[in-house]
Amino acid sequence: MVQSTMNILWILFMLFYNWLLFTTGTSVSKRPDVVNIGAILSFNSSIGKVAKVALEAAVEDVNSNPVVLSGTKLKLAMQDSKSSGGFLGIVEALRFMENDTVAIIGPQHSVMAHVVSHIANELQVPLLSFAATDPTLNSLQFPYFVRTTQSDLFQMATVADIVRYYEWQDVIAIYVDDDHGRNGVAALGDKLADNRCKISYKAPLNPKLSREDITKTLVKVALMESRIIVLHIYATWGLEVLDAAWDMGMMGSGYVWIATDWLSTVLDTESSLPSEAMDRMQGVLTLRMHTPDSELKRKFVSGWSNLTAAKSDNGLFGLNSYGLYAYDTVMLLAQALDAFLNQRENISFSNDPSLSEFRGGNLHFDNMSIFDEGNHLLNSILQVNITGVTGQIKFTSNGNLMHPAYEVINVVGKGMRTIGYWSNSSRLSVVPPEKLNTGTPSDHLYGVIWPGQTTQKPRGWVFSSNGRQLRVGVPNLVSFRQFVFRVGNSDIFHGYCIEVFLAAVELLPYALPYKFIPFGDGHSNPIKTDLLYNITTGDFDAVVGDITITTNRTKMVDFTQPYIESGLVVVAPVRKLHSSAWAFLRPFTPMMWTVTGIFFLVVGAVVWVLERRTNDDFQGRPRKQFVTTVWFSFSTLFFTHREKVDSTLGRLVLIIWLFAVLILNSSYTASLTSILTVEQLSSPVKGIESLATSNDPIGYQNGTFIDSYLTEEYHIQKSRLVPLNSAEEYERALKDGPQKGGVSAVVDMRAYMELFLSTRCDFSIVGQEFTKMGWGFAFPRESPLAVDLSTAILKLSENGELQNIHDKWLTRKACSSEGAKQDVDRLPLKSFWGLFLLCGSACLLALLLFIIKMVRQYMRRSGQSSQSQSAPIQSFLAFVKEKEEDDNRMELEDGQSRSKRRPRKMVSNRRVRELDESVNDSDHASVCGGNVNEVHYVV
């Protein structure tokens, strides 16, 4: 209804416009009633038959809507190109140039587009292709070529991002060997390189395929290591390749097939594919150009069945994305023509003088003419900005459509399942690009059912099954043969490194045939860098041995996970320090000992002053007070003092002093432990720093990176470095020393030095390990074997097998570092004989004084006794065995008899108070002589 009303209004407007011109007498040029456009298609292909219906429908919609071209009609002439790039298709394209054609839609195939673009450049006729996806057609060589669909540049970027997302390293590209295939695969290689991936093998197919050619190509592919196959081919033969791959067992578990958008085009178009054909492509990933959902698109899709029924002789078929772009190509051209006619309104053609020499004949080249305003129409096309069934139609500065996007599809069951989307801005996502916002997680895809009906991501790589053995280079060492050693002149090797490699290979999920190849003359250690260089030249496929992972080497090859840590250390001769008899005095300096002793006496004297008036423990005869004070002060050293401290000031002084004593004890213990253990071994070389600042010669293992490392990192002169080839040379050079032509120290990897020191106790590692490195197996750059063996090494480490191999080859009991450490930690008796001598002397002196005291008491007692001393020895021993109380009683009695001749000694006030309280508390106490305060107590 709305459309009919618009048509009537337009007719009335044109009648009014013509009447106005007639009455005013104005003469103006008239827009053309009909504009000729052409289309080159392959009518029987999946793309061509859909595009034919879409183009016809678009032309009808334009012609039925007078608003689009203001009454000008489009006249569409279509030619069947029959094949992808045949001669007949090119001839059909030339016929359009005889009929004043202003634009050509097509050609469908990129190969033909390259040829026809040259003709379009000569005759200045814009060429609008909705299906030629070759990215090189955008070059400046073809200014009149306009691509109205997505370029393969973005399709290959999608494939590269899929490979990166699943962490695969390389792919195999199967492609048709023409401009379309070669240029598409070249774009794929560039995009993979951006993601640090690569095409490991290219398998071109003859454009005129046969089943035998396909089989021969797939046999070569099956012998390759990669299992990621990108199939960039025409839909005509794509299903044939997948069918042949099924027959050869290449559609099973472990393979990954990524087909470009030709497969989704076939599946969208051909709804009647046999079920057997669908079963043979299960798990394949394919792409489809993404077009946003819109009202225009839904309306067009819903009416597709009616269009095919009315306009096609091939029966019903589905709508693919190329059909949508073909429809929008007509709409784009109509919009550009309208803008062009609004500015020019004249369409003129002129003969090409350069074609006059071809006059005559059936081809009529001389009838082809140049479109005089072709460049203006081209500019109008490139400036179009409309919304069609495929979304926004607008060109970028380099001639591509804006907002390229693809759907990632998984062939499952009887149909397809979208697992994600790709766009130039958001990369991989499970959300359509037009709905993606900043809060939606990107770089994610839904789960895939891979070939073989498995959901586990394929590894993407296996070792080639073509029978070729892995050529493994092994250094033929002459020293430290526990790591690698060759059995005679054979190709058999043993050792720690070899056994780790063999154990890791056993854990690989596939068979790995290999062959060890010795490297070196057997007289000196080979240069490891030269060994690794053979990988880059292709002489070796891997290197196994004591190969240190360094920065410069990682630029040449890829290494596995380190299977042993081994940094650089310094080994030098050491001598044992002979402990002094007075070593226990070394923690403190003489001044410290003096001050500490003085403070013991001072603190004791202060406490005595504070306590003597009120504390019985610090009272008595002067000698007793002196002894008590000295004993109290020195017993605080062990917190064993028994004397009570009653005064507040005394307690304050004591608590502070006890804290100081605690610190002194702890410091003494720590210092003595350090002196008697750590410094048992001594060397003039303290580490790499002291070694670098000296002028002494330094030894290193010949054939390693150590010489360049020391010169570059520590600026040690090359003349100071002495290459050594064996452990025996190490020992001889270290024993000779710099004075006899030897070296002061050897710098080498810890793994070597621990083995060297296991039987040589005269040397030791001095200083700290000054690098953190490891050993690994080397492979060519980006080799999947490096990843798989790294995983195997980690498994060996987790299950303890790696440690078992280490203990088997590298553990020694003779003079190992652990045994040497235990010897250092043991403290000899000679370090303490001075201390024991002091204690023994004190004991003997105390016993001597005790015996003298006993003799004096015995003599005093014997002089007072009138008994005969028939057996003086037995009597003396009996006296010693008597209790000390009896002797004290006798001394007391003797003292009382003497006290009668001396003034009575008054008891202390404290004792008086105690007696006073005891008297008052007794009911029967009677005090003679008056007041109790006047009573005098006699001792």
Q: Measured between alpha carbons, how far is 892 from 499 in angstroms, rounded to an integer?
A: 91
Q: What are phi and psi of 414, to 5 degrees?
A: -100, 5
Q: What are the domain boundaries of the chain? A: 34-148+295-394, 152-292+405-435, 470-566+774-810, 583-677, 681-766
Degrees to nearest 5, angle at CA 574 with 572 and 580: 160
Q: What is the pLDDT of residue 820?
A: 45
Inter-residue contact 390 to 324 (CB < 8 Å): yes
890 Cα distance to chain centroid: 93
- Is domain 470-566+774-810 classified as CATH 3.40.50.1970? no
H helices present in 826-883, as ranges: 833-864, 872-881
Helix H or strand E segment including 782? none
Would you state the pLDDT for residue 521?
86
Q: Is residue 259 helix, strand or coil?
A: strand
Q: Look up the CATH number of domain 152-292+405-435.
A: 3.40.50.2300
| Residue the block writes with tokens 């001594």 | 682
- In the predicted model, residues of the chain with pLDDT beneath 70 are 1-30, 83-90, 92-93, 345, 352-367, 438-441, 464-467, 576-581, 612-614, 640, 676-683, 812-844, 846-847, 850, 864-870, 880-939
Say if CB 525 and CB 702 are below 8 A apart: yes
At the second CATH level, the architecture of 583-677 is Orthogonal Bundle (1.10)
Q: Return the structure tokens found at 316.
A: 């019903």
Average pLDDT, the chain: 81
Start-to-end CA distance of the chain, whole Å, equals 143
Closest by alpha carbon to 498, among 461, 530, 432, 546? 546
Given 3.40.190, 3.30.390, 1.10.600, 3.40.50, which CATH number is that of 681-766?
A: 3.40.190
CA atoms within 13 A on the CB side of 909: 3
Task: For Cα atoms 497, 498, 504, give the angle at the middle one, nearest 5 degrees.
Answer: 90
| pLDDT score for 367 | 64
Contact present, 707 and 718 (Cβ < 8 Å): yes
Cis before 126? omega within 30: no
User: What would the pLDDT profile of 251-305 be if each residue is shown by its tens digit?
Assistant: 999 999 999 999 999 999 987 788 888 999 999 999 999 999 999 999 999 999 9
Cα separation, 146 vs 914, in Å, equals 125
With H, G, I as helix, E, B as strand and everything else as coil, classify residue 333: helix
Q: Where are the alpha helices (DSSP H) in 507-621?
A: 528-536, 551-554, 590-611
The domains spanning 152-292+405-435 and 583-677 adopt the same CATH topology? no
Task: Kindly give, in sequence order, each residue whose CB lies less than 8 Å from that of residue 282, ignoring residues fewer than 6 positions away.
Answer: 251, 411, 412, 413, 449, 451, 453
Supply the pLDDT for residue 351. Answer: 75
Cβ neighbours, 10 Å, residue 899: 14
Q: Which residues contact 94 (CB under 8 A, 6 or more apart)?
A: 119, 363, 365, 368
* Topology, domain 34-148+295-394: Rossmann fold (3.40.50)
Q: Which whole-number Å values give the CA distances from 419 to 94, 188, 266, 449, 868, in the listed order?
A: 44, 21, 19, 10, 124
Query: Residue 126's pLDDT is what?
Result: 93
Contacts of 881 (CB under 8 A, 6+ apart): none
Cβ partners under 8 Å of residue 465, min gap 6: 222, 223
Q: How many CB atoms lie within 10 A of CB 712?
A: 11
